[in-house]
Amino acid sequence: MDVLATRYYYLVTFVVLGLGAYMMIANRNIVKKIIGMNVFQTGIFLFFIAAAYLDGANPPVLTAEPPYVSPLPHVLILTAIVVGVSLTAVALGLVVRIYAEYGTLDAELIREVRHDE
Amino acid sequence: MSDLVPIAVAVPIFASVVALLAGLVRRKTGWHVAVAGSVVHVGIALELARRALFDETVRYVVGGFTSPYGIELVVDGLSATILVLVAVVSLGVLGYARVAGPRSNAFYAAYLLLTAGLTGLSVTGDLFNMYVFLEITGLAAYVLVATGEGGRSAVAALRYLFIGTVGASLFLLGLGYAYIATGTLNMVHLSELLAEVGHTTTLVQTAFAFIVVGLFIKVAIFPLHTWQPEAYASSPDSVSALISALVSTVSAYAFVRVVYTVFTADFLAANPLARDFLLVAAAVSIVAGSALAVAQSEVKRMLAYSSVAQFGLIVAAVSLVSETAMVGAVVHLVGHGLMKGGLFLAAGIVATATGARTVADYDGLADRMPVGAGAFGVLALAMVGVPPAVGFVGKWYIALGAVESEAWGLTVVIVASTLLTLAYFARLVERMFFREAPEVVADGADATAEGTVTPAAADGGDESPPTGRVTLGMYALVVTAAILSVALGAGVVGYEQLIESTVTSLLS
């Protein structure tokens, strides 16, 4: 229980990961699948940031007193966020094309339409 | 002069931007920019390979930091090999795309970005940098797949994007575990610190599991391959050739890097379960991939499933922790890249000239286009592993490694994989050379020989009639791939000596 009380953010990480993965798999709407993908990635961002957190620590700048929180995971996640945004942009671009082609965002319907082709 | 390593990554990125900007001034200039960029890229790759193979490992730390704090770029014998493969295949496929298209500048910008991502992936010595390049490669690949016509390629690209993102995210998660355990991201430094932390600690084991599963998705190992057949089959021929030859290959290289440079052979020795997991995944992938390939009716899908099986062989070689098998894995990585790329190009010219895209359409193809069918046949047999082709040499080394390690079960699977490969290629070869062409198609034979558009062939419900022109250059490219796939087999003994020190240090 002690772990749960002090490390709950790791628990939240995996709840978020699970939610995101579930949305990607179970949701029929492809835009919501993309949202699921974003939620999934957010879980990982949380994981890194939580790992860098140190209780009572200061930001790692020269004028602040040690101990410092670790700056590196923040930088890594900044990069990962940029990657995530690019992915979302490409995914939404594809959605626009799919909608223009099939007139629906429903993954099941698209599959049926394509089966008939 | 180790500055060449970052330049090797920067050249394609720069060319990509130039291609995009040039498109604003004048349309259809992308191809020329791409060729110029790729020629420079090949030159740099060859020079780096010369240094790495004949002198010593080339190292460069980005941004004036010192290792292990800065991002290190490393070119050793293994990465040099993959680097040259990436550069040469990208340039080669450009020759095919000249006429076959797609022709927009945006396409070539994405094309060069993919080359840049793959180059970065092969030279990086930093785990997080590897994730970034994995994503750059992925993004460019999704875009390229989507350049196909109609909704099919867009749906395939979106599916590829979802699954690929999950793969890369799992890689990132595993990387997070490794980082939390050690506080470093440099691969060599990580391997030392991971050993200090202990290879049997849960943290390190979890990191390994996430990273490996993430990379399995990128490599398309059964049952995580589901994005791959549709992505290959629905993209334009030039794209499927490029992606099939390079993307999974370089991801498999990343897999080798992570297993041996980051986690090292000691990790596999300390965790028999991890090793067994790799072994089983490999065996399942070989068998299931081949079985699925036999069941396909569309030629490009069949080739795609064949890749699932062939990459199973690579994973098998990695799980053996044997120098012989490792040499086999590298040879097979390069060989498979060339052969599979060549096969997709061959399938591309066949489809362009005759409209034949399904296995049944290949009936009597040898009469209709002897050169295309001949090259396809040679490449197919090389893939099966008929001596002296490079496909044979790679599999031979892997099988030898399995025997040396006394992994009998795997030996059986590897030998059987040759038969399974034969199972799906033999039916194509048989159709091409020993069956009569259907009546309707025979009329177009003369036109095909001259490389012009044939009248609509095969009324067998095929959705894609002949679409374009097959130029001499396209034939030359496919024939070159076929010749290389045979000729490289002879060079392997010399190459083995060059790469010996790299493989030894990798496995130590």
Domain boundaries, chain A: 2-116
Q: Does residue B142 sit at the A interface (CB-CB below 8 Å)?
A: yes
Closest CA to B350 of B70, B94, B100, B79: B100
Residues in chain A: 117
Please indicate whether, in this complex, the C-beta atoms of A87 and B139 are within 8 angstroms of each other: yes
What is the Cα–Cα distance from B447 to B450, expressed in whole angstroms? Answer: 5
Neighboring chain A residues of B185 at a CB cutoff of 8 Å:
72
Q: Does residue A51 sit at the B interface (CB-CB below 8 Å)?
A: yes
Please indicate whether, in this complex, the C-beta atoms of B154 and A79 are within 8 angstroms of each other: no
Instruction: Provide the 8-state DSSP code for B70.
Output: S
Taking CA B452 as the corner, what is the angle to CA B444 and CA B427, rounded to the nearest 5 degrees?
55
Neighboring chain B residues of A51 at a CB cutoff of 8 Å:
176, 179-180
pLDDT band at B444 (very low <50, low <70, confident <90, very high): very low
What is the Cα–Cα distance from B252 to B264, expressed in whole angstroms? Answer: 16
Neighboring chain B residues of A97 at a CB cutoff of 8 Å:
146, 151, 154
Q: What is the pLDDT of residues B280-319, one digit of tens each?
A: 999 999 999 988 988 888 888 889 999 999 999 999 999 8
| B369/A46: higher pLDDT | A46
Q: Does residue B64 sit at the A interface (CB-CB below 8 Å)?
A: no
Q: Does residue B165 sit at the A interface (CB-CB below 8 Å)?
A: yes
Q: What percent of chain B has pLDDT over 90?
A: 28
Enumerate residues 6+ apart whose C-beta is below 8 A from B467: B351, B352, B355
Q: Which of B76-90, B366-380, B411-425, B467-481 is least confident? A: B467-481
Assign B60 to helix, strand or coil. strand
3-state DSSP helix/strand/coil percent for chain B, to nearest 5? Answer: 80, 5, 20
CA distance to partner chain A, nearest, from residue B141 (Å) = 11
CB proximity under 8 Å: A 58-87 to B? 72-73, 76, 79-80, 83, 86-87
pLDDT of residue B129: 92
Mean pLDDT over residues B50-71, rounded? Answer: 83
- Closest CB to A37: pick one of B155, B157, B165: B165
Q: What is the pLDDT of residues B215-241, one digit of tens each?
A: 999 998 988 888 888 888 888 888 999
Q: Does residue A39 sit at the B interface (CB-CB below 8 Å)?
A: no
Taking CA B21 as the corner, what is the angle to CA B15 and CA B24, rounded to the nearest 5 degrees?
145
Which H helix or E strand runs over B59?
A: strand B58-61
Among all residues of chain B, which has the CA nearest to that of A81?
B132
Please indicate whether, in this complex, the C-beta atoms of B161 and A114 are within 8 angstroms of each other: no
Phi, psi of B297 (to 5 degrees): -105, -25
Closest CA to B457 of B379, B378, B385, B350: B350
Taking CA B394 as the corner, what is the angle to CA B392 and CA B397, rounded to the nearest 5 degrees?
105
Mean pLDDT across chain A: 86
Q: Does position B355 have pLDDT exceeding 70, yes or no?
A: yes
CA distances from B56 to A43, B48, B368, B438 (A): 42, 10, 51, 58
Please indicate whether, in this complex, the C-beta atoms of B143 and A97 are within 8 angstroms of each other: no
**Rg of chain B over all Cα atoms, to the nearest angstrom:** 22
ipTM, 2 dp = 0.93
Mean pLDDT over residues B386-413, rounded? Answer: 87
- Closest CB to B154: pick one of A72, A73, A101: A101
Q: Could you tell me if residue A56 is left (phi over 0), alpha (psi between -120 and 50 degrees) or otherwise beta?
A: left
What is the Cα–Cα distance from B433 to B448, expressed in whole angstroms? Answer: 17
Which of B71, B172, B185, B210 to probe by mutation at the A interface, max A CB count within 10 Å? Answer: B172
Q: Does residue B132 sit at the A interface (CB-CB below 8 Å)?
A: yes
What is the Cα–Cα distance from B459 to B439, expressed in whole angstroms? Answer: 10
Contact B280, B222 (CB under 8 A): no
Neighboring chain B residues of A109 at a CB cutoff of 8 Å:
none
Instruction: Provide the 8-state DSSP code for B62.
Output: G
pLDDT of residue A117: 62
What is the Cα–Cα distance from B161 to B474, expressed in whole angstroms? Answer: 30
Q: Does position B487 have pLDDT exceeding 60, yes or no?
A: yes
Which of A38, A49, A76 to probe by mutation at the B interface, max B CB count within 10 Å? Answer: A76
Mean pLDDT over residues B55-59, rounded? Answer: 82
- Closest CB to B132: pick one of A21, A83, A93: A83
CA distance to partner chain A, nearest, from residue B154 (Å) = 6
Assign A63 to helix, strand or coil. coil
Q: What is the pLDDT of residues B144-169, one digit of tens each?
A: 998 887 788 888 899 999 999 999 99
Please indicate whether, in this complex, the C-beta atoms of A90 and B162 are within 8 angstroms of each other: no
Q: How far out from the chain centre does Cα A36 lie?
A: 8
pLDDT band at B502 (very low <50, low <70, confident <90, very high): confident
**Quick one: tokens of A26?**
């179970």
Which H helix or E strand runs over B269?
A: helix B264-270
pLDDT band at B171 (very low <50, low <70, confident <90, very high): very high
- Closest CB to B151: pick one of A51, A73, A102: A102
What is the Cα–Cα distance from B304 to B225, expressed in whole angstroms? Answer: 10
Please indicate whether, in this complex, the C-beta atoms of A101 and B150 are within 8 angstroms of each other: yes
Neighboring chain A residues of B157 at a CB cutoff of 8 Å:
94
What is the Cα–Cα distance from B184 to B127, expressed in whole angstroms? Answer: 9
Taking the alpha carbons at both ends of chain B, their separation in whole angstroms is 29
Q: What is the pLDDT of residues A44-70, one digit of tens each?
A: 999 998 888 877 888 888 888 888 888
Among all residues of chain B, which has the CA nearest to that of A18?
B166
Enumerate residues 6+ apart whose C-beta is below 8 A from A18: none
Q: Does residue B62 sit at the A interface (CB-CB below 8 Å)?
A: no
Mean pLDDT over residues B96-124, rounded? Answer: 87
Angle between helices B237-257 and B105-123 (to 10 degrees): 20
Mean pLDDT over residues B491-495, rounded? Answer: 82
Mean pLDDT over residues B85-106, rounded? Answer: 85
Three-state helix/strand/coil letters over B169-195: HHHHHHHHHHHHHHCCCEHHHHHHHHH
Q: Within 13 A of B397's CA, how many CA atoms are on the CB side?
A: 28
Please indicate whether, in this complex, the C-beta atoms of A24 and B166 are within 8 angstroms of each other: yes
What is the Cα–Cα distance from B470 to B316, expressed in whole angstroms? Answer: 39
pLDDT of residue B439: 58
| Number of CB pairs, chain A paired with chain B, less than 8 A apart | 74
What is the Cα–Cα distance from B78 to B314, expressed in whole angstroms? Answer: 14
Q: Could you tell me if residue B451 is left (phi over 0), alpha (psi between -120 and 50 degrees) or otherwise beta?
A: left
Please indicate whether, in this complex, the C-beta atoms of B151 and A73 are within 8 angstroms of each other: no
- CATH 3.40.50.300 for domain A2-116: no
Q: Which of A68-82, A89-103, B29-43, B99-113 is least confident? A: B99-113
Which of B161, B189, B463 to probe by mutation at the A interface, max A CB count within 10 Å? Answer: B161
What is the Cα–Cα distance from B485 to B381, expressed in whole angstroms? Answer: 10
pLDDT of residue B294: 87
Neighboring chain A residues of B140 at a CB cutoff of 8 Å:
none
